[in-house]
Amino acid sequence: MTHVVTESCIRCKYTDCVDVCPVDCFREGPNFLTIDPDECIDCAVCIPECPVSAIFAEEDLPKDQVHMTAINAELAQLPNWKSITKRKDPLPDHEQWKDRTGKLSELIR
């Protein structure tokens, strides 16, 4: 089991979650954060931190986000996705994107 970042994060990247992660399991891409499933310990403290409720326990994923489990695992292995442990500003146009759904086509690897 692991926790999973869903599409809600795409083009927003608030990063509040990374401050509380006790095992530093978040990885940062150009416009999305992912969780490395090999590092996540399912402590769940990141879930309430996300202002757009993008994070779920794998078993609790909404049906239309189940594909994000595999995508999180894949992205966490990409060499250009680095560990992020300190919060930073969200992406400049986060306000426009935070309530949008179906953003997968916007994901930059």
Partner 1 sequence: MEPRPGDVVAPAATAAIATDAVVIGAGPVGLFQVFELGLLDIRAHVIDALPHIGGQPVELYPDKPIYDIPGLPFCTGQGLADALLRQSAPFAPQFHLGQTVNQVHAQEDGQWLVGTSTGTQFLSKTVFIAAGVGAFEPRRIKLAGIEAHEGTQLRYHLGAPSAFAGQDVLIQGDSDTAIEAALSLSATGPHRANSVTLVHRRDSFKAEPERVALMRERCAAGAMRFIAGQITGHDTQDGRLRAVHLTRPDGNEQAVPLDTMLVLQGLSPQLGPLTDWGLAMERKQLVVNTETFSTSAPGIFAVGDINTYPGKRKLLVCGFHECTLAAYGAAPIVHPTRPVLLQYTTTSTHLHQVLGVGHGTGDKSRDKS
Residues in contact with partner 1 by the rule CB under 8 A: 1, 22-24, 38-39, 41-44, 59, 79, 82, 85
Ordered DSSP codes for 9-62: GTTT---HHHHH-TT--EEE-SS-EEE-TTT-----TTGGG-TT--EEEGGG--
Q: Which is nearer to partner 1, 2 or 31 (CB)?
A: 2
Minimum separation from the CB atom of position 41 to partner 1 (A): 4
Q: Which is nearer to partner 1, 52 or 58 (CB)?
A: 58
Nearer to partner 1, 12 or 18 (CB): 18
Residue 93 C-beta: closest distance to partner 1, Å: 28
**In contact, 47 and 56? CB cutoff 8 Å:** yes
d(CA 92, CA 45): 26
For the bound state, the minimum distance from the C-beta of residue 73 to partner 1, rounded and expressed in Å, comes to 14
- Amino acid occupying residue 67: H
State which residue, 20 or 96, has the beta carbon closest to partner 1.
20
Pairwise CA distance, residues 99 & 57, whole Å:
21
CB of 101 to partner 1, least distance (A): 27
